[in-house]
Amino acid sequence: MTSAPPGYSRPTIVGPVDGAAEKSIAATCPGSVVAPWVGDAPATHPYWGPHYRVATGWATDPEVRFKGSSGGAVTALALHALARGLVDRVVHVTASAADPASNAIAVSTSARDVIAGAGSRYVSSSPLVDIERVLADGGRAAFIGKPCDVSALRLLAQSDARVDAHVPLMLAFFCAGIPSRSAVGRVLGELRVSENELAAFRYRGDGWPGKARAVTHDGRISEMTYAQSWGAHLSKEVQFRCKICPDAVGGVADIACADAWYGGETGYPRFEEMDGRSLIVSRTARGEALLVDSEEKGDLILEGLDIGQIELMQPGQARRKRLVRGRVAALKACLQPRPQMTGLLVEVASRRARPVEQIRNFLGSVRRSMERRP
């Protein structure tokens, strides 16, 4: 995977690709196919996906709750699995040493290293680039990734038995899409920190939502609120593919977490600083068992949530899911490539869109398709 302007991750051909590899790529690449919501969950919601249980919660360890993006639930679950011996390592992303605003992959065996990766990092990540090594090494790894990463891994499991044998736990988070690296550059510009000066960078975490925070080599700290960094810069440069994502809620993960924002009654969540709270959805029997055990052993505090409440916390995700069908129809009309997305209730979700909303998005996507043509 390499970075292509304006700073999105793209696959590059670096050598001959044999027939088997090409077949495997075609069957798993999240750019071209999205794993359907087939699993053992007792219920499936057209926006929020398969679910055993919907809850809000947070890590009982105050450090994990504080460092985590929302309530530190993803990290707490991974740590619980590690401590109980369900897995022997965790595959996750962390800040790149060479460029602290970009991502690198970490394979961690200690709580300290897993906690170091806590917090959302709003820039491209490729946590599967070393999956061959993870599978070849054997053992049992927990995998943390974006919904599309987990989708690719589930699809790979259909042709590679090592996935189920060696990756018994897949955790995801709701994902609004990947901003470009150049948008991150604009955040740094507003923070008056040059790329050369940058020693460390957090997008958020250290509180909920926590601030974007740049630290320079000479110890200068510069911060920006989440509303500014995400709202004014990063969200404006989310790549198009993410805007037609039919499963941005991690529907094929064992457990998916998100921000359990307050205040959605006004139509938009509030982003005031407070103690972190994650939205937690267990999606498989294995995920539910982990949730039960994490609560019983005191690693996670959980409070039940009616599934109807999620829309107040995640209005953007609900909107996107109901508009995916119209946007993809526009690509079809313009003879543009589009991912396969069957078994994800895209059609059912689209019936919840107002016709005017649907038409506006269809036309907007047609216009965008025409503009992108050479």
Q: Which two tokens stand for residue 156?
A: 């790979």
In whole angstroms, how close is the CB of 235 to ligand FAD at the nearest point? Answer: 9
Compare residues 168 and 336 and give the one whose CB is closer to ligand FAD. 168
* Phi and psi torsions of 222, nearest 5°: -135, 135
In whole angstroms, how close is the CB of 33 to ligand FAD at the nearest point? Answer: 20
Q: Are 94 and 103 in contact (CB under 8 A)?
A: yes
Compare residues 314 and 350 and give the one whose CB is closer to ligand FAD. 314
In whole angstroms, how close is the CB of 365 to ligand FAD at the nearest point? Answer: 20
In whole angstroms, how close is the CB of 234 to ligand FAD at the nearest point? Answer: 8
Residue 251 DSSP SS3: coil
Among residues 173, 201, 271, 362, the one that binds ligand FAD under rule CB under 6 A = 173
Compare residues 126 and 284 and give the one whose CB is closer to ligand FAD. 126
Q: Which two tokens stand for residue 303?
A: 């409070």
Among residues 47, 122, 143, 201, the one that binds ligand FAD under rule CB under 6 A = 122
How far is 194 from 199, CA to CA, in rounded Å?
10
Among residues 121, 166, 211, 321, the one that binds ligand FAD under rule CB under 6 A = 121
CB atoms within 10 A of CB 355: 8
Compare residues 225 and 336 and give the one whose CB is closer to ligand FAD. 225
In whole angstroms, how close is the CB of 219 to ligand FAD at the nearest point? Answer: 25
> Is 254 one of the binding residues for ligand FAD (CB under 6 A)?
no
Q: Are 177 and 125 in contact (CB under 8 A)?
A: no
> Is 258 one of the binding residues for ligand FAD (CB under 6 A)?
yes
> Is 252 one of the binding residues for ligand FAD (CB under 6 A)?
no
- Tell how far CA 9 is from the center of its chain: 15
Among residues 54, 73, 82, 135, the one that binds ligand FAD under rule CB under 6 A = 73
Give the contact letters, 5-44, x = binds to ligand FAD (CB under 6 A), - = no. ----------------------------------------
Compare residues 28 and 126 and give the one whose CB is closer to ligand FAD. 126
Task: Name the one range near ligand FAD by CB under 6 A: 35-43, 131-139, 170-178, 322-330.
Answer: 170-178
How far is 360 from 68, CA to CA, in rounded Å?
37
Compare residues 176 and 188 and give the one whose CB is closer to ligand FAD. 176
Compare residues 71 and 287 and give the one whose CB is closer to ligand FAD. 71
Output b/e per residue, 226-253; b: 16+ Cβ within 10 A: bebbbeebbeebbbeebbbbbbbbbbbb
> Is 201 one of the binding residues for ligand FAD (CB under 6 A)?
no
CB atoms within 10 A of CB 220: 13
Compare residues 7 and 205 and give the one whose CB is closer to ligand FAD. 205
Residue in the block written with tokens 């609560």:
295
Residue in the block written with tokens 């949530």:
305
Cα dihedral sign for 33, 39, 44, 45? negative
Q: Which two tokens stand for residue 238?
A: 């989310």
From edge to edge, which strands make up the β-sheet containing 198-202? Answer: 198-202, 212-216, 221-224
In whole angstroms, how close is the CB of 106 to ligand FAD at the nearest point? Answer: 8
> Is 174 one of the binding residues for ligand FAD (CB under 6 A)?
yes
> Is 68 one of the binding residues for ligand FAD (CB under 6 A)?
yes
The closest of 293, 299, 301, 257 to 275, measured between CA atoms, is: 301
Q: What angle do CA 3, 198, 211 make, to 5 degrees?
A: 90
Give the contact letters, 281-310, x = binds to ligand FAD (CB under 6 A), - = no. ------------------------------
Q: Site for ligand FAD (CB under 6 A): how many residues?
A: 36
Q: Which two tokens stand for residue 68?
A: 């985590």
